[in-house]
Structure 1
Amino acid sequence: MKRSFKYIATGLMLLAVSACSDSLLDKEPISNFSGQGFYKKPSDAQAGVNGIYNSMQSLFRLNFAYWGEGRADNVTTRHSGDPFALQQNTLTPIINSARWDNFYTLVSRANYAIKYTPQVFGDGDSDLKRQLLGQAHALRAVAYFYLVRIWGQVPLITEPYESVEQELFVQQNTEAEVLAKVEEDLIFATENCASNYSGARNRVLMTKGAAYAFLTQLYMWQKKYDKAIDAAEKVIGDSQYSLVSMSDWNDIFVKGTSTESIFEVGYNETQTNALRILYAIGSDSDYVPSSRFIASIEPGDLRKARIYDVTEVQPRKIWKFFGQGFNDESPDPSSNNIVLTRLADIVLLKAEAHAQLNQPTEALDLLNRIRRRAGLSVMDEAAANNLYGNLVTAVLHERSIELSFEGHRWFDLVRTGTAISTMKPVNGLTDQRNLVWPIHESAVLRNPNLKQNEFYK
């Protein structure tokens, strides 16, 4: 099903207010605007939030894989440019994935929406007002969560830039300061976003469940395992989310908006992404499965033939996002949605949190839900220790296979402290300061208050 954000706007209006004009329902996303001059009525607030989603499309269309997979062990590449630099760990301040411009475009639009949406609705309470504010806070939180995981210390900007009297040359905040705002925004979103919307909108708009899912990721990054478990339970206990059958596993990505999906970045034939360039062009894609990844798959795993082309001695095509047997060599842009989080992600994060807290019964129950679907034998603690050294590592291995190429692997390695031990044999990674990206030279040249990350000075 192909979606446009015009339809998202329409659906949300129909859910929230019944007396809206046709012009409101037809409002398109906007690219650039002055908040003071633009926000006059509820339809403007809706268009402003649509503009944040539009920014998210640009932000993740290619780089979700560069940031989340390109520096990790599951992929290899023959390409020059960013794919080669990331894989060889030769990052410099001029590589494209070191740019954070699109993040701050998203943040700017969110800041306008957060400031001006209350003004156009007045003092009265409104479901639409709360939902729009909840979505704006959640989207800003996701942007800052990625910013910290990629660059470490980044500027925390929470007000729109509207006056020459405001500080133009912002300074970087600590990771703790930025992540505190991420948590605050996501908690606000859990309290104000809608629980669900109708149809496909339910997976491409921010909901309470999506906010709790990103909270789970945040708490795991911070090693706040009890809080991660509490947030994950809100998602797992929500009846609108369920694991799909193995026969429908590829449809999570090919068709999109499955019962397993929690939040997707929506694309269509007009608003496209680079999934095919990243993974589908068998003779010349950015990434292919590494020999290390292939060797790590357990015998009998039903996911194997659904992840990559098993007919080739040296697999050159990743089928996961396009369907088993996909053989289209076209470099045309893709209209598939990009799934940022789904139920299997949250189930395995909760399993990992229980394992970290030495609660093996709970951890194994969750881990085996995913293993059984993949056709694998049920694992006990002894088997986990024998195969993977300990239960935490067994869960991380399961995440590596289940969530392969979805943009999680590098972040999993970093947050668990295993990036250096995993990647040193691959590309010589040895320095903790090297785990973040360099800040792109264009940002440093524009802003004299920015300090380049230490490793890249």
Structure 2
Amino acid sequence: MKNSIKIFLGATLMILFSCSEDLLQRDPISSFSAQGFYQTSSDAQAGVYGIYDAVQATFSINFAYWGEGRADAVNTNQAGDPFLLQQNTLNSILASARWNNIYETISRANYAIKYVPTVFEGDSEFGIQLVAQARALRALSYFYAVRVWGDVPLILEPYESIQQDIFPTRTSKELVLNQIEADLLFASANCRANFGGQRDRILITKGGADAMLTHLYMWKKDYASAIQSAERVMNNNLYSLVTINDWSRIFTQGYTNESIFEIGYNEVQRNSLRILYALGSDSNFFPSVSFRNAFEEGDLRRDLIYDVTETQPRKIWKYFGQGFSDESPEPSDKNIVMFRLADIILLKAEAHHQLGETIEALQLLNIIRTRAGLPNLDIQGAIDLYGDVESAILHERLIELSFEGHRWFDLVRTGKAIEVMNPINGLNDEANLLWPIHEDALNRNPSLVQNSFYQ
């Protein structure tokens, strides 16, 4: 069995979290006293591991639906979410429009943030570290929620009393982003620097919090802060780029030195990677023509990413290895890599360019290009190939981070979503960049208002 997080919460802990299956359809009073559960340090650790358990469920398939399904690197022959996302015909009964799992994660985090400190006397370093992980995972959840739906209910306390508002309204995305920043700054300051071994990749460390901060600051266009947090990641001795010979191991085996945070799965906790990418003509997604045509000659990553032996490739074997042909529909136990060093290097390159520091930007871009077997770019080379330096960096992210759940957010963040996707599916309205709120959430909470494009 893969040495991943072995989450066994026990019947008592399952009762604790059963009331948060759908956060916006809650019983006013929980039948379980969280304070009664959190008695020992082991209870506190189990409570935090319960948050990771919820993260596993949240991103099992949605990391790709949210981050790739509406972008240009994939195509599909499948009905349901894959087709509707690709055609930009989203509706309020779309599976990926549900935020249930995200808010379950947030609910678990809120319980831990409130009750873990009650277990420990004084300023316990272990207790503070557990709270820091909980706040980082809450921040991760809200960061996805804001990018997918915009304004979302900001809930920072567990629901335990009938006196609490059980029908929260949507909070301005700016305020939610501010809370995300506060949580991640706390996590950066208080998470452990390392745990040792594989746990450094599947638990939130200081480096993981700093990687999330870098993404947050790029989303907020706070480029100076993004550079600072990225430098903390790059100066962290836990992380180094692997060679191109080991590049596939990042995804097929996990736990490499390049990985900053990956969601751990095993034979018990499994995800949908096979369904998403590995079933040939039956998979959710396969490489689009524009993606296949985007490679420069000599790029060593091409045949590590998809089946180049097929005229119309249907297999994305990035997560399974070159030559992978097992088309079993069984769930996958491969880890999902959320943040890695190459991602942060390219974000830092983009931030430098936005601040007019183009030489620094190109130096960072060329680190990734060199590993891929590509020649260095100067300003004129970037212009000749891609129009400008920013587009060269964004193109490098398209290839290097392909199918890892970043492309759609990169297009939205850089203001290029309509430009890129309009010729593909007619996207032409900024309001259409958000997902609709699922009808179940609207029916259960009269305080919610649908996003304007879907009204």
CA, structure 1 residues 113+256, in 2 after alignment: closer, same or farther (shift >3 Å)? same
For residue 197 of structure 1, report the CA deviation from its aligned partner.
0.8
How many Å separate the matches in 2 of 1:32 and 1:425? 49
Give the equivalent residue in structure 2 for 1:233. 231
The correspondence for 1:362, drawn from 356, 360, 363, is 360
How many Å separate the matches in 1 of 2:187 and 2:436? 31
For residue 27 of structure 1, report the CA deviation from its aligned partner.
7.3
The correspondence for 2:311, drawn from 290, 293, 313, is 313
Aligned-pair RMSD on alpha carbons? Answer: 1.3
Q: Secondary structure at the match of 1:311?
A: coil
Q: Secondary structure at the match of 1:340?
A: strand
The correspondence for 1:126, drawn from 109, 124, 127, is 124
CA, structure 1 residues 29+293, in 2 after alignment: closer, same or farther (shift >3 Å)? farther
Normalization by structure 1: what TM-score?
A: 0.94
The correspondence for 1:353, drawn from 338, 351, 354, is 351
CA, structure 1 residues 382+407, in 2 after alignment: closer, same or farther (shift >3 Å)? same
State yes or no: 1:400 paired with 2:424: no
Q: Secondary structure at the match of 2:339?
A: strand
Alignment of 1:203-222 (within 5 A): 203-222=201-220
Deviations, residues 239-272 of structure 1 (Å, cap 9, x unaligned)? 1100001011110011001000000011001100
For residue 40 of structure 1, report the CA deviation from its aligned partner.
1.3
Identity in percent: 60
Task: Output the amino acid matched with 1:40.
Answer: Q
For residue 283 of structure 1, report the CA deviation from its aligned partner.
2.5
Give the equivalent residue in structure 2 for 1:21. none
State yes or no: 1:65 paired with 2:48: no
1:6 and 1:29 in contact (8 A); partners too: no
Normalization by structure 2: what TM-score?
A: 0.95
How many Å separate the matches in 2 of 1:36 and 1:4? 28
Task: Output the amino acid matched with 1:43.
Answer: S
How many Å separate the matches in 2 of 1:30 and 1:415? 38
The correspondence for 1:31, drawn from 11, 14, 19, is 14
CA, structure 1 residues 187+29, in 2 after alignment: closer, same or farther (shift >3 Å)? farther
Task: Output the amino acid matched with 2:260.
Answer: I
How many Å separate the matches in 1 of 2:153 and 2:123? 33
Give the equivalent residue in structure 2 for 1:19. none
Deviations, residues 350-382 of structure 1 (Å, cap 9, x unaligned)? 000011111111101100000000000011111
How many Å separate the matches in 2 of 1:3 and 1:80? 36
Alignment of 1:281-430 (within 5 A): 281-430=279-428
How many Å separate the matches in 2 of 1:128 and 1:4? 21
Q: Secondary structure at the match of 2:14?
A: coil
For residue 29 of structure 1, report the CA deviation from its aligned partner.
10
Q: Secondary structure at the match of 2:282?
A: coil
For residue 4 of structure 1, report the CA deviation from its aligned partner.
4.0
The correspondence for 1:272, drawn from 250, 270, 273, is 270
Deviations, residues 17-75 of structure 1 (Å, cap 9, x unaligned)? xxxxxxxxx97994341312211121111110010000000000011000000000000
How many Å separate the matches in 2 of 1:5 and 1:250? 22
Deviations, residues 65-106 of structure 1 (Å, cap 9, x unaligned)? 000000000000000000000000000000100000000000
Q: Secondary structure at the match of 2:78?
A: coil
For residue 6 of structure 1, report the CA deviation from its aligned partner.
3.1
Task: Output the amino acid matched with 1:288.
Answer: F
For residue 5 of structure 1, report the CA deviation from its aligned partner.
2.6
Give the equivalent residue in structure 1 for 2:3. 3
2:66 and 2:408 in contact (8 A); partners too: yes
Task: Output the amino acid matched with 2:14.
Answer: S
Alignment of 1:84-99 (within 5 A): 84-99=83-98
1:29 and 1:51 in contact (8 A); partners too: no
Alignment of 1:145-224 (within 5 A): 145-224=143-222
For residue 131 of structure 1, report the CA deviation from its aligned partner.
1.2
How many Å separate the matches in 1 of 2:255 and 2:231? 21
How many Å separate the matches in 1 of 2:319 and 2:203? 21
Structure 1: gaps of 5 or more residues: 10-25
How many Å separate the matches in 2 of 1:249 and 1:32? 42
The correspondence for 1:445, drawn from 438, 443, 446, is 443
Give the equivalent residue in structure 1 for 2:24. none
How many Å separate the matches in 2 of 1:251 and 1:331? 22
Alignment of 1:50-61 (within 5 A): 50-61=49-60
Give the equivalent residue in structure 2 for 1:20. none
Task: Output the amino acid matched with 1:206.
Answer: I
Q: Secondary structure at the match of 2:261?
A: strand
2:5 and 2:202 in contact (8 A); partners too: no
How many Å separate the matches in 2 of 1:162 and 1:195? 34
2:4 and 2:198 in contact (8 A); partners too: no
For residue 282 of structure 1, report the CA deviation from its aligned partner.
1.0
Structure 2: gaps of 5 or more residues: 17-31
How many Å separate the matches in 2 of 1:138 and 1:146? 13
CA, structure 1 residues 412+29, in 2 after alignment: closer, same or farther (shift >3 Å)? farther
How many Å separate the matches in 2 of 1:358 and 1:147? 31
1:28 and 1:47 in contact (8 A); partners too: no
Give the equivalent residue in structure 2 for 1:15. none
Give the equivalent residue in structure 2 for 1:251. 249
1:213 and 1:235 in contact (8 A); partners too: yes
How many Å separate the matches in 2 of 1:280 and 1:267? 17
2:13 and 2:37 in contact (8 A); partners too: no
Deviations, residues 410-455 of structure 1 (Å, cap 9, x unaligned)? 0000010000000000000000000000000000000000010000
How many Å separate the matches in 2 of 1:399 and 1:185? 27
Task: Output the amino acid matched with 1:112.
Answer: Y
For residue 126 of structure 1, report the CA deviation from its aligned partner.
2.1
